[in-house]
């Protein structure tokens, strides 16, 4: 199954169909690896029988014995994954490679696809999409109808305003009272570390985040020339809404500042024993998901 191009990803808005297509591609890519979800403990080996999923075959044991054995597991507990999605205005930033694809649409496809994978292994999932203007919450659930509900809710989200302040965040802590694995999606463009501080608060409460940072290629490379007008989609009284610069003169200082910011962000998450994954939205969603699953193998 070929990977979806940015153009194809941008042109398709049917998240129900798209997420299934992406998830099937991811499963094809990892089906020969040993995959166990959280709460699945190894119980015993038994001989392969017709109808068994090949995902449960122990391929290392096959290489040694030339016989097919299936790993049986015991279900200790269901995993609940809570997706926290930053829907502030900067997530509306479009790619300069494919102008119809922005960070938010990529995030929607990414979440809906992982929901499909979690549903396939019997786990539950919820959604919390937030900005300073609106909070959208889909409670914990499982099954195909719940997966469809989340996909349809994701389709309606728009990027606007900025990250919520402390008073706006306060009512949201109720959604983390029960144990869950939090996956936090954002570009982590923050004024005073407010998004990473949110993750630190969750970590202190025993709800560590797995962070995914979504960027466009131009933010990483700054390929511009000539006079450039930079717009701040989340401007406030303390920050300018626009800035005119000479792109060639500013390139190196921008790249240096970007590198320092990325290093500091990674360090903040490392202090919480979480690895920051930073992906460009110009790369296939399948590739990002595979890397995330390999890094956090307890998910799928």
CA angle at 53 for the pair 52 and 58, rounded to the nearest 5°: 95
| Max CA separation in the chain (angstroms) | 69
User: pLDDT at position 55, please?
Assistant: 66
Mean pLDDT of 224-246: 82
**Helix, strand, coil percentages, rounded to 5, for the chain:** 45, 20, 35
User: Residue 184 to residues 66, 116, 227, 241: CA-CA distances in angstroms?
Assistant: 42, 18, 35, 27
User: pLDDT at position 50, please?
Assistant: 60
- The string of pLDDT tens digits covering residues 13-25 is 788 888 888 888 8
Mean pLDDT of 193-214: 94
Long-range contact pairs involving 92-97 (C-beta distance under 8 Å, separation at least 24):
92/158, 92/159, 92/160, 92/233, 93/187, 93/216, 93/219, 93/233, 94/216, 95/6, 95/216, 95/217, 95/218, 95/281, 95/282, 96/216, 96/217, 96/218, 96/223, 97/6, 97/216, 97/217, 97/282
Residue 239, token pair as written in the block: 């920050």
Give Cβ neighbours of residue 267 (< 8 Å, ≥ 6 apart): none
Q: Report the DSSP pairing between strands 277-280 and 209-215.
A: parallel
- The string of pLDDT tens digits covering residues 40-93 is 444 456 676 665 666 667 777 767 777 777 765 544 457 899 999 999 999 999
Q: Report the DSSP pairing between strands 80-86 and 69-75.
A: unpaired
Q: State the span(s) of the chain assigned CATH 3.40.50.410.
A: 6-28+78-295
User: pLDDT at position 32, please?
Assistant: 39
Residue 189, token pair as written in the block: 């463009």
- The string of pLDDT tens digits covering residues 86-121 is 999 999 999 999 999 999 999 999 999 999 999 988
d(CA 120, CA 226): 51
CA angle at 109 for the pair 155 and 153, rounded to the nearest 5°: 25
The domain 6-28+78-295 having CATH identifier 3.40.50.2000: the answer here is no
Q: Is the Cβ–Cβ distance between 258 and 219 less than 8 Å? A: yes
- What are φ and ψ of residue 36, in 5° steps? -135, 135
Spacing of C-alpha 7 from chain mean position: 20
């Amino acid at each position: 199954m070929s990977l979806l191009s940015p153009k194809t990803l941008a042109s398709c808005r049917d998240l129900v169909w798209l997420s299934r297509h992406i998830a099937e591609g991811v499963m094809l890519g990892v089906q020969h690896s040993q995959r166990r979800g959280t709460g699945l403990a190894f119980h015993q080996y038994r001989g392969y029988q017709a109808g068994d999923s090949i995902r449960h075959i122990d391929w290392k044991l096959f290489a040694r014995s030339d016989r097919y054995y299936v790993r049986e597991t015991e279900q200790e507990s269901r995993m609940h994954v809570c997706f926290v999605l930053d829907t502030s205005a900067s997530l509306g930033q479009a790619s300069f490679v494919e102008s119809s694809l922005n960070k938010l649409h990529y995030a929607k496809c990414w979440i809906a696809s992982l929901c499909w994978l979690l549903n396939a292994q019997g786990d539950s999932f919820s959604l919390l999409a937030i900005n300073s203007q609106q909070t959208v919450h889909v409670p914990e659930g499982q099954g195909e109808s719940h997966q469809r509900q989340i996909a349809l809710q994701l389709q309606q989200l728009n990027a606007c305003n900025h990250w919520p302040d402390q008073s706006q965040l306060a009512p949201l802590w109720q959604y983390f009272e029960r144990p869950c694995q939090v996956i936090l999606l954002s570009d982590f463009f923050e004024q005073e570390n407010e998004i990473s501080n949110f993750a630190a608060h969750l970590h202190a409460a025993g709800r560590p985040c797995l962070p995914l940072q979504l960027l466009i290629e131009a933010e990483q490379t700054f390929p511009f020339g000539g006079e450039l007008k930079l717009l701040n989609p989340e401007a406030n009284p303390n920050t300018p809404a626009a800035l005119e610069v000479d792109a060639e003169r500013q390139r190196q200082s921008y790249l240096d500042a970007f590198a320092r910011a990325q290093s500091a962000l990674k360090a903040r998450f490392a202090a919480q024993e979480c690895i920051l994954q930073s992906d460009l939205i110009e790369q296939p969603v399948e590739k990002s998901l595979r890397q995330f699953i390999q890094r956090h193998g307890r998910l799928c």
